[in-house]
């Protein structure tokens, strides 16, 4: 069976990496970006460059989009010559952007009202995994589209989850990031009290790495925390926002989350200390600073 023709909207770091892998894998890809010069590297690899999202959606079997935030995700769909202007019965749109549940549902509703087929598929993973095809997709919406796009997902990622109705992808990201927010505070408290108690930070990390808690995050962040290197992979303010939103979800559902609440306060203390744009692991400095 012939490969579907692919559209890709948004040539940021992630979109460039993903569409590049699709071209390498032999797909015919049409790309678009607000500022056209970012399409150049893809054009050199063989991509067609379109002038509008509308043009992409009209000419491709499946169109992916990866934008930077909810407002640009909306703009690409609802804006002039946007996705909505081009969508029609049976056209397929997969939004990979990380957006809140309401934005995902609003886009889904508009696409569906015009008989388009929609899938949300926010990713877990950043630049490195994107280049290596090691992303994880948290898909929700139309199961048939998820299946059909699987050959694309396999090129871009190592695993695709289909989670149910639109909104489930956004919720899964919140839950996972909430657990991560608690975890980075746990590591911070462990390193803080352990080093105060005369242990070497490096020894604590090494012991952790030999046991049941050994995880990539401790390995990646731990040594940097001890070195005071907080170059942002995931900014503290975004981590705090996700914990706060997860608490909001718990509030709606009447689910107490006392550790998440304590983590939120610790991360807020980090924000208050001016670390919002640094890596989330800089919460360690606040935990430590709590002791003069």
Q: Which residues between 174 and 233 bind its own copies (CB under 8 A)?
A: 175-176, 178-180, 182-183, 185-187, 189-190, 192-194, 196-200, 203-204, 206-208, 210-217, 220
Q: How many residues bind its own copies (CB under 8 A)?
A: 75
Report the alpha-carbon distance of residue 53 to residue 229 in Å, rounded. 40
CA angle 63, 68, 70 (to 5 degrees): 85
Residues 233-252 that bind its own copies (CB under 8 A): 244, 246, 249-251
Q: Which of 173, 237, 241, 268 is catalytic?
A: 173
Binding residue for its own copies, selected from 104, 130, 172, 225, defined by CB under 8 A: 172
3-state secondary structure of 105: helix
> b/e map of 66-104 (b: 16 or more CB within 10 Å)?
bbeebebbbbbbebeebbbbbbeeebbbbbbbbbbbebb
User: Among residue numbers 121 through 140, which ones bind its own copies (CB under 8 A)?
Assistant: 124-125, 136, 138
Q: Where is 286: in which H helix or E strand?
A: helix 283-289
Residue 201 Cβ vs its own copies, minimum distance, rounded to whole Å:
11
The smaller minimum CB distance to its own copies, of residues 50 and 280, is found at 280
Contact 87, 113 (CB under 8 A): no
Q: Report residue 202: phi and psi, to 5°.
A: -65, -40
Spell out where the chain has E strands. Answer: 6-9, 29-32, 48-49, 62-65, 92-95, 117-120, 123-124, 135-141, 157-162
In the complex, least distance from residue 68 CB atom to its own copies, rounded to whole angstroms = 21
Choose the binding region for its own copies from 42-50, 57-65, 148-156, 158-166 (rule: CB under 8 A). 158-166
Examine residue 290 and tell whether it contacts its own copies (CB under 8 A): yes
Instruction: Confirm whether 158 is a catalytic residue.
Output: no
In the complex, what is the shortest distance from the CB of residue 97 to its own copies, in angstroms, rounded to a whole number? 18
> Which of 38, 158, 224, 238 forms a contact with its own copies (CB under 8 A)?
158
- The three-class DSSP label of residue 159 is strand
Task: Please give the residues from 255 up to 274 whose contact with its own copies meets the rule CB under 8 A.
Answer: 255-266, 268-269, 271-274
141 binds its own copies (CB under 8 A): no
Binding status of residue 155 toward its own copies by CB under 8 A = no
Question: In the bound complex, what is the minimum distance in angstroms from residue 223's beta carbon to its own copies?
Answer: 15
Q: 80 Cβ partners below 8 Å, 6+ apart?
A: none
Which residue numbers are catalytic?
173
């Amino acid at each position: 069976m012939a490969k579907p023709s692919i559209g890709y909207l948004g040539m940021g770091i992630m979109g460039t990496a993903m569409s590049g892998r699709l071209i390498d894998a032999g797909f015919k890809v049409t790309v678009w970006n607000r500022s056209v010069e970012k399409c150049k590297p893809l054009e050199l690899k063989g991509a067609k460059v379109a002038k509008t999202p509308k043009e992409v959606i009209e000419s491709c079997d499946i169109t992916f989009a990866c934008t930077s935030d909810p407002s640009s995700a909306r703009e690409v769909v609802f804006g002039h010559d946007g996705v909505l202007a081009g969508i029609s019965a049976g056209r397929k749109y997969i939004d990979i952007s990380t957006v809140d549940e309401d934005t995902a549902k609003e886009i889904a509703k508009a696409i569906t009202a015009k008989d388009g087929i929609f899938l949300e598929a926010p990713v877990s993973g950043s630049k490195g995994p994107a280049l290596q095809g090691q992303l994880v997709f948290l898909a929700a919406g139309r199961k048939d589209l998820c299946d059909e796009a699987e050959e694309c997902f396999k090129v871009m990622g190592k695993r695709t989850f289909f989670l149910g109705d639109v909104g489930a992808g956004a919720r899964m990201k919140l839950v996972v990031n909430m657990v991560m927010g608690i975890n980075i505070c746990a590591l911070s408290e462990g390193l803080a009290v352990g080093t105060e108690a005369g242990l070497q930070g490096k020894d604590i990390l090494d012991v952790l790495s030999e046991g049941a808690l050994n995880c990539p995050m401790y390995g990646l962040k731990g040594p940097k925390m001890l070195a005071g290197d907080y170059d942002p992979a995931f900014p503290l303010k975004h981590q705090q926002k996700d914990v706060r939103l997860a608490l909001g979800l718990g509030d709606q559902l009447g689910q107490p989350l006392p550790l998440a609440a304590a983590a939120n306060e610790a991360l807020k203390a980090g924000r208050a200390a001016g670390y919002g744009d640094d890596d989330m692991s800089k919460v360690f400095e606040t935990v430590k600073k709590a002791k003069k």
